[in-house]
Amino acid sequence: MSGIQAIFRTTEPSRRMSRVAASALIGAALTGCAVGPHLPPPTIPQPARYTQKALPQKIGGQQRLRWSDQAYARWWTTFASPGLDRIVDQVLQHNPDLAADRASLARAKALVAAAQGGLMPSIGANLGADRSKALRTGADGGSQYKVPGNLYSLILGTVSVQYNPDVFGGQEDLVHAAKARTEVQSAQLRQAQIFVIAATMNAAIDGAQAQAQLQAAQHIARADERLLTLLRAEYKLGYQNLQNVEQQQAITDAAQARLAPLEASVSAARHALDALLGSMPNRPVNLPALKRLHLPQNIPVVVPSALLKTRPDIEAARAEVRVASANADVATANLYPQLDITGSIGKAAQTGMLFFNPVSTLWSLGASLVAPIYEGGALTAERQAAMDAYHEAANRYRATVFDAFRQTADALRALQSAHTACKHSKASAKAAAKALKLAVAKYRDGVVDYNALLNAEIAYQEDTVAAIKARSTLYLDNVALFVAMGEGPDLQVKPHEDGNQRPDTQVQHHPGNRT
């Protein structure tokens, strides 16, 4: 028997002992269990309603609240603007921030697979060949002199297996933590989708508001110019004094000065939509007209008991608690011994023919148990830090829930207030327009002087702008309510496909829906 074979071979009693040891280790692995504290998720009592007083079913105008236990996916379609629908769908497909979040989610899923690999045995192979010339000592076996030995070759091939039975569940806890991180990334992607949709809607509505204000300002500027021309003619005929002409000139110049900032606001809204679409600002984007936007007759409102499931930030905070709980389990498992089982089988021979001979077979089976005895308190401190991280995540989860209910309550009240403000602003603008029309007619007939006409003109300008802003605020408050309830497309649904039926929330095109 060669020296190499003597090294790798074992005796028959040793083989029997190895079998017994392997059986014992396998039994220990099968009866093992996780030792972590398994901290439970925090529980929060859910209110019966969002506000102290129950909200009326008719929140304002033609809008009514329709309570539901599910989020409405394509809520932006309730504004009945096909052009706006196309922009939102394109943003969901091409927005670079969403693409980055999708990549983060894919990375988190890959890390779950990597963590799960730790629960399986690892298998490796090694194949090598070597030719050497050994040194041999003198005949007396001493080390006084050495002479060159014979040339020899060695062919060695082995397959090795290593397995950690995870007796105390540390690796399984790592898998749980990785899965919880995936849930965090998934919720954050949903949250990013909702924010991007809201940003798109807000940019479009702001642009429509600026466009409406610009059109109104242009109309007012033309009216001021006509009135200035009239005053100048009257001044030349001696019917008007110079002070009134100069005052009207100042008003006309101020009306012209308001046009440039409004034009810049329209451009800024288009540029914002370009950025959301992941394109340069030189790309033309058609903004919807404010008067073409409609409000949903039936607003799908999530009941308080379902808000914990629909809000992605709550879902992410809850998943963070699961991550912290799993990390606490991992830190606890690190206090216990770690068991490793290793085995290998292979061939070792000096020639190729002997390599495939059974006599050249080598094998080994072993196990190791590594237990922490003294680590200077590091492992205990790490476990305490993990427990503290859990309590931090649990309290942040509670804060997120409380803030979510606050945002929803604020959004409902803001929408109710916006309806009231829009109603009165609209009535005020109509009254101011009638008053200005009468003042112009009376001025031409000589019934009133220029000061009365000027006051009517200023009131009309202010009330017209206020009505446009109030109508825009009403649309924005509708968007804010959808965002507060966490409504938006599901990750498994393409932007233009979802299972929601729209008849209940689809707007019927008749004047009663316009604000």
pLDDT at site 159: 94
**41: pLDDT strictly greater than 90:** no
Q: Taking residues 2-16, report their average pLDDT.
A: 41
* Residue 91 pLDDT exceeds 60: yes
Whether residue 334 is predicted with pLDDT greater than 50 in this model: the reply is: yes
Q: What is the pLDDT of residue 52?
A: 85
pLDDT score for 140? 55
Residue with tokens 């237990």, as numbered in its chain: 371
Residue 488 binned pLDDT confidence (cut-offs 50, 70, 90):
confident
Q: Residue 149: what are its φ and ψ, rounded to 5°?
A: -95, -160
pTM: 0.79
**CA dist., res. 408 & res. 65, Å (int):** 13
Which residues make beta-bridge pairs with 65? 299
Which strands form 298-302's sheet, in the order they lie side by side? 58-60, 63-68, 298-302
Provide the pLDDT for residue 57.
85
Is the pLDDT confidence value at 505 over 70? no
pLDDT band at 199; cut points 50, 70, 90: very high
Report how far residue 485's alpha carbon sits from residue 480's, in angstroms, rounded to the nearest whole number: 9
For position 21, what pLDDT does the model report? Answer: 43
What is the separation of C-alpha 57 from the centre of its chain, rounded to a whole number of angstroms?
32
Residue 500 confidence (pLDDT) above 60: no
* DSSP H helical ranges for 140-241: 170-237
Give the orientation angle of helix 259-276 with respect to helix 170-237, to 10 degrees.
160
Provide the greatest CA pair distance for the chain. 141
The domain locations on the chain are 40-120+169-336+380-485
With beta carbons less than 8 A apart as the criterion, state whether 479 and 415 touch: no
Mean pLDDT of 432-457: 87
Q: Cβ neighbours of residue 108 under 8 Å, at least 6 residues apart?
A: 178, 181, 182, 184, 185
> Three-state DSSP class for 163?
strand
Q: Band the pLDDT of 454: cuts 50, 70, 90.
A: confident
What does the pLDDT read at residue 149?
Answer: 66
Residue 353, CB-side half-sphere exposure with 13 Å CA sphere: 0
* Rounded distance between C-alpha atoms, residue 474 and residue 293, angstroms: 11
Which pLDDT belongs to residue 42?
Answer: 87
* pLDDT for position 263: 93
User: Any residues with CB less than 8 A from the CB of 192 and at least 6 apart, and which?
Assistant: 97, 98, 101
Quick check: 204 and 145 in contact, CB under 8 A? no
Q: Which of 292, 307, 259, 248 is nearest to 67 (CA)?
A: 307
CA 6 to chain centre: 63
pLDDT digits (tens, 9 = 90+) for 306-331: 898 889 999 999 999 999 999 999 99
State the Cα–Cα distance between residues 490 and 194, nearest whole angstrom.
10
**CA–CA dist 25, 340 (Å, integer):** 9
> If you average pLDDT over residues 489-500, what whole number do you get?
52
- pLDDT reported for residue 131: 85
Q: Please state which of the four CATH numbers 1.10.3430.10, 1.20.1050.10, 1.20.1600.10, 3.40.190.80 is assigned to the domain occupying 40-120+169-336+380-485.
A: 1.20.1600.10
CB proximity list for 231: less than 8 A, separation 6 or greater: 240, 244, 245, 248, 450
Q: Which two tokens stand for residue 369?
A: 């148990």
Distances (CA, A) of 448 to 203, 315, 444, 463: 44, 66, 8, 22
Residue 27 has what pLDDT?
A: 47
d(CA 338, CA 369): 6
Give the chain's mean pLDDT.
Answer: 84
Residue-level pLDDT at 51: 87
pLDDT in tens, 13-36: 444 444 544 444 444 444 456 677
Predicted pLDDT of residue 138: 56
